[in-house]
């Protein structure tokens, strides 16, 4: 099956590798990621997860894995598999999860003392498994447990919603908006109070972090995911601007633009992200955020650097066993459960974005065909005007606004470029109503839809700069990538397979060269602190051999730092 999945990604990547060692990211126009490519990576993650659990792929969520529900061990997989459309026994896992919630309430009175996100993760997973987050389990008094009330809008009656940091606020808002849950009068928090606190937490750099300073790629991305439903609201919040130290009026759209600028600025030149070194999880969170905002993570110029896009960066973490690694650093462990679940979420978000479906955490039923077409058509018309640099006259702006107003309120968030229309209307002096946008309109949960096979054929233009992902000669750090691509090609007899085999040979040669250097160090120059004048010639020879290696391979030389010190 894998041999048949000959991805256009491979064709593009190998053609670039063979023909153009260095190109501008803007110059690329030869191939892309197809639906089949992305689905291949997703299937690999699910297969790896099943292997780790020792079950078949369709039994990842089942009575066989019910024990994991006690600590939420498969909650994210449940949510992302549901959003991707994988078949599994969601009801069985949901039943075990509900039992676990009841038990925790009956024994401890709550899911957690400080972390409100325990309610948010559990509530999202419960919905994915067919449960009702408003009535999920029973407490010691036999009362029905409301995860939304206890974990979000009434959390403040027992513990501050933001006690664990800004992620308590962002995930609370994501949970609240996942089904458009209403907030009753007298609640400790409302959407407006949560948004005000989030916007007030924006750092001087424009991002978000636990410390309130600097930019955490992960937390900035998660916060953008929560802000996405409000990006079209013209309502201004009174928040504290940390850079100015004063109260300012700021819309969610303005906060989003600041955060996107901060994220773009902290993106690495290879396209990746990370708070403490590059990680796949950071790339995953950024991809989910961009898709929620209607931004293509594979092609938007703000998130394509010389070494590729953030999507390119994430896929570099794919391992031959189908899973995803947390880091690519030498000596790091292989496939990782958290890295895999977040990569599955990111790739599912990307699939849904490309198909014009609801975003990853918008668990309401999909819009009907007429509404979806109205959203698409309006978006395209605004895009055309913006691209041409044409500002509409008052009559045209009013007609566009009327079409926007005719779209059901809960679907207007998917007119991602509505802020252009708002700017034009302001420039024309038109009156704009500015009530707070409250998306509370509790809706039925979405049906499970297999995004791997649904929808039209599409591909994403591939950035030619990804040629840097496999330099010539290939390095030891590229071994997993080459093995993965060879696995995708299977036994097909093609020029692309031949090129990859040449890369494999280059890697083998580099491995032998590094092994020879390590052997010489161990035999002649160890320990480095005991070297004397008589060892100078050998030391200089070995250092010259190390410096002749590709920079990426020098990390595989044992004790190189000690030799330089000597």
**Three-state SS annotation for 175-202:** HHHHCCCCCCCCCCCCHHHHHHHHHHCC
Q: Are 481 and 469 in contact (CB under 8 A)?
A: yes
Provide the pLDDT for residue 434: 66
pTM of the model: 0.81
Provide the pLDDT for residue 29: 33
Two tokens, residue 59: 């039994």
Q: Are 124 and 363 in contact (CB under 8 A)?
A: yes
Two tokens, residue 180: 């458009």
Classified as helix, coil or strand, 373 is helix
Two tokens, residue 523: 């035999």
Whether omega before 128 lies within 30 degrees of 0, making that bond cis, reads: no
Two tokens, residue 167: 């992620």
Beta strand extents in 24-124 (DSSP E only): 32-34
Q: Burial, 20: exposed, middle or buried (Cβ in 10 Å; 0-12, 13-18, 19+)?
A: middle
Instruction: Give the relative orientation of helices 418-427 and 369-388 as an angle to the nearest 10 degrees.
Output: 50
Matching residue, tokens 């407490």: 139
Gap between the Cα atoms of 40 and 310, Å rounded: 18
Gap between the Cα atoms of 507 and 501, Å rounded: 10
Q: Are 43 and 524 in contact (CB under 8 A)?
A: no
Q: What is the DSSP string of 497-536?
A: HHHHHHHHHHHHHHHHHHHHHHHHHHHHS-SGGG--GGGH
Matching residue, tokens 């609240």: 176
Gap between the Cα atoms of 358 and 178, Å rounded: 10
The DSSP bridge partners found for residue 461 are: 32
For the CA atoms of 77, 82, 86, 91, the dihedral, rounded to the nearest 10 degrees, stands at 90
List the pLDDT tens digit at each of the 566 positions of the chain: 333 333 333 433 433 333 332 222 222 332 368 888 899 999 999 999 999 999 999 999 999 999 999 888 899 999 999 999 999 999 999 999 999 999 999 999 999 999 999 999 999 999 999 999 999 999 999 999 999 999 999 999 999 999 999 999 999 999 999 999 999 999 999 999 999 999 999 999 999 999 999 999 999 999 999 999 999 999 999 998 887 888 999 999 999 999 999 999 999 999 999 998 999 999 999 999 999 999 999 999 999 998 889 999 999 999 999 999 999 876 667 899 999 999 999 999 999 999 999 999 999 999 999 999 999 999 999 999 999 998 999 999 999 999 999 999 999 999 999 999 999 999 999 987 767 777 777 788 888 888 887 666 665 533 333 333 455 677 787 777 777 666 665 665 655 567 678 888 888 888 888 888 888 888 777 776 667 777 778 878 888 888 888 877 887 887 666 666 56
Number of neighbours of residue 24 by Cβ within 10 angstroms: 10
* Helix (H), strand (E) at residue 309: strand 308-309
Gap between the Cα atoms of 552 and 559, Å rounded: 15
Encode burial over 519-529: b for 16+ CB neighbours within 10 A, e otherwise. Answer: eebeeebbebe
Closest CA to 390 of 402, 401, 381: 381
Provide the pLDDT for residue 30: 28
Matching residue, tokens 């570099």: 316
Q: Are 363 and 179 in contact (CB under 8 A)?
A: yes
Gap between the Cα atoms of 320 and 2, Å rounded: 12
């Amino acid at each position: 099956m894998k041999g048949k999945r000959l991805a256009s990604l491979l064709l593009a990547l190998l053609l670039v590798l063979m023909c153009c060692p260095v190109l501008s990211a803007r110059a690329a126009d030869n191939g892309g990621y197809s639906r089949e490519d992305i689905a291949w990576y997703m299937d690999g993650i699910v297969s790896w997860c099943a292997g780790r659990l020792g079950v078949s792929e369709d039994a990842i969520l089942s009575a066989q894995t019910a024990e994991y529900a006690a600590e939420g061990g498969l909650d994210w997989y449940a949510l992302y598999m549901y959003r991707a459309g994988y078949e599994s026994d969601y009801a069985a896992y949901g039943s075990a999860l509900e039992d676990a919630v009841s038990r925790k309430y009956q024994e401890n009175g709550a899911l957690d003392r400080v972390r409100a996100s325990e309610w948010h993760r559990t509530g999202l997973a419960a919905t994915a498994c067919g449960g009702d987050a408003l009535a999920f389990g029973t407490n010691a008094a036999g009362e029905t447990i409301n995860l939304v009330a206890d974990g979000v809008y009434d959390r403040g009656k027992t513990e501050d919603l933001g006690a664990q940091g800004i992620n308590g606020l962002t995930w609370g808002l994501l949970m609240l908006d996942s089904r458009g849950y209403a907030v009753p009068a007298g609640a400790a928090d409302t959407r407006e109070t949560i948004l005000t606190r989030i916007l007030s937490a924006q750092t001087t750099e424009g991002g978000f972090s636990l410390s309130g300073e600097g930019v955490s790629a992960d937390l900035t991305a998660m916060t953008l995911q929560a802000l996405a439903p409000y990006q079209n609201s013209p309502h201004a919040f009174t928040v504290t601007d940390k850079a100015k130290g004063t109260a300012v009026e700021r819309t969610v759209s303005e906060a989003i633009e600041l955060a996107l600028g901060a994220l773009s600025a902290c993106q690495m030149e290879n396209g990746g992200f990370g708070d403490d070194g590059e990680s796949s999880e950071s790339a995953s969170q950024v991809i989910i955020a961009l898709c929620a905002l209607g931004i293509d993570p594979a092609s938007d110029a703000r998130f394509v650097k010389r070494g590729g896009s953030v999507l390119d960066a994430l896929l570099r973490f794919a391992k031959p066993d189908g899973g995803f690694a947390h880091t690519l650093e030498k000596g790091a462990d292989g496939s990782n459960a958290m890295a895999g679940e977040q990569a599955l979420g990111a790739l599912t978000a990307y699939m849904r974005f490309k198909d014009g479906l609801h975003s990853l955490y918008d668990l309401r039923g999909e819009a009907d065909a007429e509404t979806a077409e109205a959203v698409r058509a309006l978006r395209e018309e605004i895009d055309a005007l913006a691209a041409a640099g044409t500002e509409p006259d008052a009559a045209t702006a009013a007609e566009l606004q009327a079409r926007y107003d005719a779209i059901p309120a809960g679907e207007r968030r998917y007119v991602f470029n509505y802020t252009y229309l708002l700017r034009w209307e302001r420039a024309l002096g038109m009156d704009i109503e500015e009530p707070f946008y409250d998306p509370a309109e509790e809706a039925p949960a979405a049906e499970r839809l297999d995004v791997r096979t649904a929808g039209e054929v599409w591909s994403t233009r591939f950035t030619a700069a990804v040629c840097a992902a496999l330099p010539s000669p290939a390095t030891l750090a590229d071994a997993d990538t080459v093995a993965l691509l060879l696995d995708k090609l299977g036994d097909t007899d093609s020029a692309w397979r031949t090129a990859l085999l040449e890369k494999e040979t280059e890697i083998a040669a580099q491995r032998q060269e590094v092994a020879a250097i390590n052997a010489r160090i161990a035999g002649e120059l160890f320990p480095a602190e005991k070297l004397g004048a008589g060892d100078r010639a050998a030391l200089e020879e070995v250092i010259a051999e190390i410096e002749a290696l590709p920079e990426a391979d020098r990390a595989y030389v044992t004790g190189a730092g000690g030799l330089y010190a000597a």
